[in-house]
Structures are given as C-alpha cells and as structure tokens.
Amino acid sequence: MTKKYYLLFCLMCLSFWIYAQKPELSVVEQEGENFYFHFNNPNPYPISLLIEFSKLENLVSNKQLPFKVILKPNQSREKVITLSPKNKDKKTFYKYTYKSMNGDCNKKHDSRYAYQLPFEKDDKFRVMQGFFGEFSHKNQYAIDFDMPIGTKIVATREGIVVQTKDDSNKRGNTKEFANDGNYIRILHDDATTANYFHLRKGGVEVKVGDEIKKGQFIGYSGNTGWSTAPHLHFTIYQNSFEKSVTVPFKFETSPNKLEEVKKGIFYKAF
C-alpha cells in the first residue's frame, strides 16, 4: 500500500521587517519498504532547500546528508531523496527538518557590483542616515534617502520581485510600527535581496514574479512603518539558511565611480 504524508517547510524570519516566504510543500511517499521525498517550488523565483535528518533508524539514504537542492521557479522534482531499510525485518524510523531560502545557496554577494541610485535621472537627494547609523542602523548596512512622499523609485539592480506590500497608511517613531511599512523586495542572481522600504500606500507598481531591469520604475516613496519623516530606506540582504544579514554595497554616483554614500551628502542620479 502506498502512503503519502504532507508536511510544510519551516519558515525563516530574516529580521523584524524581512519576510517569511510562502511555505513549500513536501510530499513523503512510501512505496513498500522505501520512502521517497518529492519537492515542489510553487514560487515564480528560484529557492534553495536544506534537508537534515536528526534520526535515521535502520534506514540509509541514497544522498549524502544533510542535502541541499536548488529548485527553479515553479519546479517540481520527484524522488529527490530515497530512504531504504538496512534490515527489512526490523522497524524503521526517521525524523527530519527543512530550511529554505530564496535564490541559489551556492552563490554569494557580488561586492563589486555597481548599484544604480534608486531614483530617476537628474533627481538629487541627501543621505539622512548611512551604514551603521546611530538612530536605527546600528547593526545594519542600510541607507536612508531624504525624499518627499511620491518620489519615483527605480530598481538599483536587475532581479525578480519576491514580495510587495502597499496596503498600509500607518506610521510611528517606534519599533511597534515596523511591520506597517510598505515595501518592494527584489531577488538578485547572487542570492541577495534588495529591500525598498517605507513606500506610500498604493505605491507599488510591480508584482511578485516580475522580472525587473536595472533602472526600471518600480514604485513611489512614502512615510509608512517605523519612520520619523518621509524617506526611502534601502538595504541589501545576503539570503541564507540561517539568519540573513545586510551586506555592504556601493552606488555608481558618476560614470565609472563607485562609492559608499555618506550621511549629509547629496547625490544626483545620472
């Protein structure tokens, strides 16, 4: 008799404002004495999975454990892992856990990439707060650009939209309002995610699954969430099976010039 067990993946919270992605469904199918693990990625972007077995009693795997697998957008794979009994006359038992992340787990942040300033050509804005700023960036590589509500935002790098929110009109100067901020999150090909935060209500002009080009208009700035004044908060996160962290990045502030933007200085997009 064939038995199937449906289990949900564990969700990972990247930080208090980074999302827990949509869970992927795993099917464990038993045929005779063997157990087969099938994996499905229902998302329009690639994900990586880490499968770990804390217990394997009288069972052997056909794959080296722990096992990592990368699934393409909307990809399903059957019988990725097979567990077979060592001794068919004895009982079998297994216990396992899952972790997932967006993108290819074998790739790391390209520190040499030339990010475009996140606003339109000839626009000029001041940096309110830079990397490890004293107000709210103490442990983050993050940039706050001082800009009026409704300023057009463009993508700093090409990628795929993995999450958006623009239904909030709430704002406050304490952490309790952090989850009320509107945002766009774009996955890059080096398994990093750009976070464009504090957008205005109704200010998202893209949808999950959209392939975005560098410099493409994606939405409007605002003043939602944990915010004391209208601005755009921008970060790059290195996706990970464990706790994802912000990473340093540089903008191309003039032709062939890369730099880390600094607090108090105005920068003009070209």
What is the widest separation between alpha-carbon atoms in the chain? 75
Does position 6 have pLDDT exceeding 60, yes or no? no
Most confidently modeled of 35-39, 190-194, 226-230? 190-194
Closest by CA position to 269, among listed 116, 153, 127, 147:
116
| Distance separating alpha carbons of residues 266 and 270, to the nearest angstrom | 13
> At a CB cut-off of 8 Å and minimum separation 6, what does 31 contact?
2
pLDDT of residue 14: 28
- Average pLDDT over all residues of the chain: 89
Domains in the chain (CATH in brackets) are: 3-102 (2.60.40), 114-268 (2.70.70.10)
Does position 23 have pLDDT exceeding 60, yes or no? no
| Burial category of 54 from C-beta neighbours within 10 Å (exposed 0-12, middle 13-18, buried 19 and up) | exposed
| Distance separating alpha carbons of residues 66 and 137, to the nearest angstrom | 35
Mean pLDDT, residues 101-128 taken together: 96
pLDDT of residue 136: 65
Does position 93 have pLDDT exceeding 70, yes or no? yes
Q: pLDDT digit string (tens) for 28-56?
A: 888 889 999 999 999 999 999 999 999 99
CB count in 10 Å sphere of residue 270: 11
CB count in 10 Å sphere of residue 27: 15
Query: Higher confidence at residue 122 or residue 98?
Result: 122
CB count in 10 Å sphere of residue 47: 27
Task: Round to the nearest angstrom and report the end-to-end CA distance of the chain.
Answer: 66
